[in-house]
Amino acid sequence: MAREVADFVHYGPGTLGGVYLRHFWHPVYVAADLKPGWTKRIEIMSEFFTLYRGESGAAHLVEDRCPHRKTRLSIGQIEGDSIRCFYHGWKFAGDGVCEEQPAELPSFKEGVCIRSYPVREYLGLIFAYLGEGEPPEFQEFPEAEYDNGRPIVVKKIVVPFNYFQRLENGLDELHVHFVHKVSASATHEFRSLPTAYAAEETDYGILRKTTYDRDGRKEIRTKYFMMPNIGLTLPPPATELDDWTPRLSWRVPQNDENTISFTLARHKPRGEKATSKNWESTDDIVNAIFDGRMRLKDVDVYHPRLFNIQDNTAMAGQGRMHEDREHEYLGRSDIPIVLLRRIYQREMKAAVDGRPIKRWRLPRERLVLGFQPAAE
């Protein structure tokens, strides 16, 4: 299979991937975790920002360094919808304009401002546009706005791996049969390996179609990947594990060694076994496995973060920043990953060359999720 090698691992300012991803809106924080009058320092794509919620309730995102003597604005105080630097009291409006410099003459603040970024709250998340110029159209997900009255749970999880490993894992159907074997084998639909793998580029990104033979009938399992970083998955509803639920996930590089997953999922009440224990953290378990103090098969199948433990173990095995894609052996089961790399390579190059990038459009029709008979 053709090799697709580019810089898939760096997303800081000025990098191939960093320039490209700054053309899109991304979730940066869980809305409920930011109360009025509070500030948070956040890192997205290896840059720090100050996120705050004004007393009016509006969220604002500005650069993290005060222009005066460069302390963090995130330690400042909120006054109305403005933020006042903790060090010498310079005050900035949400749009970045400097409103006060208590010790200076009035004319000194002319032309002094901080960078501010467009934000938007949607589906319980705060989205931001961190790029240059006008932001692109904001994509909405009507299907995620309600779910037959069932609550949608918003989660933020930081995983200690490079962003592109996380993206590739999300497009990798085969790993479900191995990495998530305990859960998948409890699910009728996953009882045999796929017989064919396919992926096509669409208006929205990648449509992955995996074929299964079910007692002589072909069935296709679909997965939607929306460029540049959104996945929509509907696993079969067979197990009681609360991770095994439909989910819409955004992956966002925090920096090149950590990736944030923002996930909207249907709420599935945990069984008694999952709630009755104080569970060890995902990272502690993965470290114990790597230290040889534990085996993956020893992890309690009712651990509420079982899926993360399984995925993180596989990805930790690749290394925190897996860069050596040149010496991999990609087979037919990697077809969706090859397509992902090809699209990223093409689009990242266009972005750094200043050429138009592909503007992805979410499908208008309702997405077909899960298994369905293959067309003859």
Residues at the contact surface with Fe ion, assessed by CB under 5 A: 311
Residue 120 contacts ligand FES per CB under 6 A: no
Using DSSP's 3-state secondary structure scheme, residue 312 falls into: helix
C-beta separation of 25 from 137 below 8 A: no
Candidates 83-91, 220-228, 229-237, 287-295; binding stretch for ligand FES (CB under 6 A): 83-91
User: Closest CB to Fe ion among 168 and 311?
Assistant: 311
Candidates 6-14, 88-96, 237-245, 340-348; binding stretch for ligand FES (CB under 6 A): 88-96
Binding residue for ligand FES (CB under 6 A) from 66, 248, 338, 340?
Answer: 66
Q: Which residues make Cβ contacts (< 8 Å) with residue 43, sequence separation at least 6?
A: 49, 254, 255
CB of 67 vs ligand FES, minimal distance in Å: 8
Count of residues in contact with ligand FES, rule CB under 6 A: 9
User: Closest CB to ligand FES among 50 and 165?
Assistant: 50
Give the type of residue at 328.
E
Dist CA 235 CA 337 (whole Å):
20
Tokens of 324: 């050596």
Using DSSP's 3-state secondary structure scheme, residue 230 falls into: strand
Binding residue for ligand FES (CB under 6 A) from 40, 41, 72, 88?
Answer: 88
In the list ligand FES, Fe ion, none, the entry touching 349 (Cβ below 5 to 8 angstroms by class) is: none
User: Closest CB to Fe ion among 98 and 171?
Assistant: 171
Kindly list the distances between the CA atom of residue 45 and the CA atoms of 14, 42, 79, in Å, as whole numbers in the listed order: 11, 10, 28
| DSSP assignment string, 127-187 | EEE-SSSSPPPPP--HHHH-STTPPEEEEEEEESS-HHHHHHHHT-SHHHHHTTHHHHTTS
For residue 224, the surrounding DSSP H or E stretch is strand 217-226
Residue 114 contacts ligand FES per CB under 6 A: no
Residue 77 contacts ligand FES per CB under 6 A: no
Binding residue for ligand FES (CB under 6 A) from 31, 41, 46, 71?
Answer: 71
CB of 98 vs ligand FES, minimal distance in Å: 10
Radius of gyration, alpha carbons of the chain:
23
Nearest Cα residue to 44 out of 70, 66, 24: 24
Binding residue for ligand FES (CB under 6 A) from 30, 46, 47, 87?
Answer: 87
In the list Fe ion, ligand FES, none, the entry touching 88 (Cβ below 5 to 8 angstroms by class) is: ligand FES
Dist CA 55 CA 63 (whole Å):
19
In the list Fe ion, ligand FES, none, the entry touching 299 (Cβ below 5 to 8 angstroms by class) is: none
User: Closest CB to ligand FES among 112 and 362?
Assistant: 112
Residue 69 contacts ligand FES per CB under 6 A: yes
Kindly list the distances between the CA atom of residue 23 and the CA atoms of 16, 129, 130, in Å, as whole numbers in the listed order: 12, 8, 8
CA 233 to chain centre: 14
Residue 68 contacts ligand FES per CB under 6 A: yes
Half-sphere exposure of 375 (CA within 13 A, CB side): 1
Candidates 38-46, 61-69, 321-329, 335-343; binding stretch for ligand FES (CB under 6 A): 61-69
CB of 50 vs ligand FES, minimal distance in Å: 12
Residue 41 contacts ligand FES per CB under 6 A: no
In the list ligand FES, Fe ion, none, the entry touching 141 (Cβ below 5 to 8 angstroms by class) is: none
Nearest Cα residue to 24 out of 230, 263, 200, 231: 230
For residue 41, the surrounding DSSP H or E stretch is strand 39-44
Residue 52 contacts ligand FES per CB under 6 A: no
In the list Fe ion, ligand FES, none, the entry touching 311 (Cβ below 5 to 8 angstroms by class) is: Fe ion
In the list Fe ion, ligand FES, none, the entry touching 25 (Cβ below 5 to 8 angstroms by class) is: none
User: Closest CB to Fe ion among 68 and 268?
Assistant: 268
How many Cβ atoms are within 10 Å of 176's Cβ, its own excluded? 21
Instruction: Kindly list the residues in this chain that would bind ligand FES in the complex (CB under 6 A).
Output: 66, 68-69, 71, 85, 87-90
